[in-house]
Structure 1
Amino acid sequence: MQPDLDKVFKALADPTRRYLLDQLREDNGQTLGELCRRLEMTRQSATQHLAVLEAANLVSSVRRGREKLHYLNPVPLHEMQERWVNRFEQPRLRMLSAVKRRAEEAMKPSFVYVTYIQSTPEQVWKALTDPEVTAQYWGHRNESDYKPGSRWAHVRADGSGIADIEGEVVESVPPKRLVTTWFDPNGPEDQEPSRATFDIEQHEGIVRLTVTHEDLPDEKAHQDVSGGWAAVLSNLKSLLETGHVLPQAPWEMP
C-alpha cells in the first residue's frame, strides 16, 4: 500500500507532532501518559496529534494488557525516500543509511514493523504458521501445533532438520494474534529469549500486520531483526498478493 502523502506531509508540518516523533525515536514504545508528561499537554491534545500521526502511518500502536504503547513507524518515510531520493542520490543514500543505523543504535532493543497486505486474516495467519508456506518465503519451516505452551521451531527447509530458532507459543488467537518466544538453540546457555508478537487486523480488503520483536539482548540483535523482518515480510507480502515470492530473496541482496 502506497502512503497517503497528503496525510504524511500534514502530519510532519506541525512542530508538536515532529516533537512527538522525536520522543519516540529516542524512547520507542511509550504510553499516552508518558508522552503527555514529556509534552506538558493534556491527554486530549496529545491524543489528537497521535491520531493524525497514526492516520499517516508514522506511528503505530500496540496493546500490552491495559496499556497502549506507541511506536515510531519509519515505513512511510522510507517509501518517500525510495520514490524521490534513491534513484538520484546513491552516495547520499549511503550516508543516510549510516545515520539511520546510528539512530537505531540509540533506541532500546525492541522493534516494530507494520505492513499492509491485500489478503485476509486467515491467509496471513496461514502464511505465518503453515510450514509449507513459510518454507516458500522464509527458507525455513515454522513447525508447531500453535497451542499456548507448545514448542515451536524455525527449521531449515533443506531437509537437514536443523532448527536455527526455537521457542514457546505464549499466546495463540487465530487469525488475530500470535505471540512466541525466540532463542538460539546453539547460543549461550544463559541467554534470555526474545519475544515476537504478530497482530493481524482486517481493514476491508486489506490486512494490517504488525510485528513487534522485543526483549532483544543487545543493539546488534536489534539491527539484525530490523533488516531481517523487513526482508521476510516483503517476501510474504509478495507471495500473498501475487502468488510468487520476490525474484531474489531480499536478505541475499547486497
Structure 2
Amino acid sequence: MSVYSHTLDAVDDDVFKALNDPSRRLLLDALFAHDGQSLGELGELLPQMTRFGVMNHLAVLEEAGLVTTHRDGRRKLHYLNPVPIQMVHQRWITKYTERRVRTMTELKSDLEIEAARAVPDHVYQVIINVSPAVVWNAIVDGDVTQQYFYGTRVESSWEEGAGIRYMYPDGRVASEGTIISIDQGKMVEMTFQALWDEELVAEGPAREIWRVEDFNGASKLTIELYDTPVGSKTYTDFVSGFPYIVSGMKTVLETGRSLPAPY
C-alpha cells in the first residue's frame, strides 16, 4: 500500500499531476460514488483501456496518496483518500471558507460487527513525520485531541471493553462508544455514537480502526471505517469530516499549530 510522504510542494505536485488526466479523474469519481472497488470493477469504466493501463492509472493515484488499498482475500480493493486534497484545500482555501462537519458512532450486535469486520467502507492514510509513540499519544490524550478533533477531548481508560467519549469544552458529550480491541501503541478498534444529531443517532453506530506503524522513522496512520452504509448521513459526515481530523493531527504534530476551525 503506497502513501504520500513528501514535502508539501512535492505532495501538491503529485496530486496535480495525478488529477491532470480525465481517466484518473473518472476513477476517483467512481470511488467517490462507491468506495472499495476492485480493479475489475473499475476497469469496466474504461472499456477501451487494457487492464494494465487501468493498473497504471491506479498506481499513479496511489503514489499521490489519492487512493489507498485494502486486501480482501485475493481481491485488492481501492478507496478514495481525500487527505491530500484536504491539505491542498488548507493551503489556499480555508482562509475563505470551510464546511461544518461531524464525526463519531457506537456498538451493534456482535453478529453484525463480525459480518462487517472484513472489508472497510472507507480508508484514510497519511504519513506523519514524528515517531509512532507521538502519534499514539495524539490518539489517546485529550489535551491533544482538542487541537485537531473539532475541539473535543477524548476520555477513556483505553482497555478492551472500556467506554470512550469525546467531550465538548462546555462539558456536553459529543459522542460515546466502546473499545472493542486494543494493542497499546499500535491499534485501537472502537465504536462511536454521535449524540449531537438525531438523524445520526437514529442510523445507529459505526466502527473505526486506528492503526499506527513505523514508516522509516516516521509514522503511518491508517483509519478504517466500518458500518457506514453509502448514502447514509453517517457515511456522508465521516467522509466529509475525517480529512480535517487526519490532516489536522498531521499539522499539529509536525508544526505545533492547529488548523483553522472549519466553522
Letter paired with 2:138: A
**2:239 corresponds to 1:239:** no
More helix by percentage: 1
Query: Is the Cα contact below 8 Å between 1:11 and 1:17 reproduced in 2?
Result: yes
Residue among 206, 209, 220 paired with 1:208: 220
**2:204 corresponds to 1:196:** no
State percent identity of aligned pairs.
35
The 5 Å alignment of 1:71-82 reads 71-80=79-88
Q: How big is the alpha-carbon RMSD for the aligned residues of Structure 1 and Structure 2?
A: 3.8
Letter paired with 2:190: T
What displacement does 1:124 show? 0.9
Give per-residue Cα distances to partners, 1:163-194, cap 9 Å, x unaligned: 43222333433434322121246869875310
CA distance in 2, matches of 1:130, 1:237: 15
CA distance in 1, matches of 2:93, 2:145: 33
Give per-residue Cα distances to partners, 1:73-112, cap 9 Å, x unaligned: 234344445556778xx6xx89xx8xxxxxxxxxxxx554
Query: Is the Cα contact below 8 Å between 1:30 and 1:69 reproduced in 2?
Result: yes
Give per-residue Cα distances to partners, 1:93-142, cap 9 Å, x unaligned: 89xx8xxxxxxxxxxxx554433321112221221123454355543123
Query: Is the Cα contact below 8 Å between 1:134 and 1:140 reproduced in 2?
Result: yes
Query: Is the Cα contact below 8 Å between 1:151 and 1:166 reproduced in 2?
Result: no
Residue among 168, 180, 192 paired with 1:170: 180
CA distance in 1, matches of 2:203, 2:23: 40
CA distance in 2, matches of 1:23, 1:135: 34
Q: 2:235 is paired with a residue of what secondary structure?
A: helix
Structure 2 residue runs of 5 or longer lacking an equivalent are 1-6, 100-120
TM (norm. structure 2) is: 0.67
Query: Is the Cα contact below 8 Å between 1:239 and 1:245 reproduced in 2?
Result: yes
Query: Is the Cα contact below 8 Å between 2:203 and 2:234 reproduced in 1?
Result: no
The answer for the alignment partner of 2:65 in structure 1 is 57
Query: Is the Cα contact below 8 Å between 2:62 and 2:68 reproduced in 1?
Result: yes
The answer for the alignment partner of 1:115 in structure 2 is 126
CA distance in 1, matches of 2:187, 2:75: 17
Q: 1:183 is paired with a residue of what secondary structure?
A: strand
Summarize the Cα distance change of 1:177–1:48 in structure 2 as closer, same or farther, 3 Å threshold. farther
Q: Point out which structure has higher relative CO (alpha carbons under 8 A, 6+ apart).
A: 2
Query: Is the Cα contact below 8 Å between 1:183 and 1:191 reproduced in 2?
Result: no
Summarize the Cα distance change of 1:180–1:237 in structure 2 as closer, same or farther, 3 Å threshold. same
What displacement does 1:236 show? 2.6
TM (norm. structure 1) is: 0.69
**2:27 corresponds to 1:27:** no
Letter paired with 2:76: K
Letter paired with 1:31: S
Structure 1 residue runs of 5 or longer lacking an equivalent are 98-109
Letter paired with 1:208: K
CA distance in 1, matches of 2:224, 2:85: 19
CA distance in 2, matches of 1:183, 1:45: 42
Query: Is the Cα contact below 8 Å between 1:195 and 1:215 reproduced in 2?
Result: yes
Give per-residue Cα distances to partners, 1:10-39, cap 9 Å, x unaligned: 433444323322221221221233223444
Give per-residue Cα distances to partners, 1:182-228, cap 9 Å, x unaligned: 12468698753101122334332432323233323654333433454
Query: Is the Cα contact below 8 Å between 2:186 and 2:211 reproduced in 1?
Result: yes
Letter paired with 1:156: M
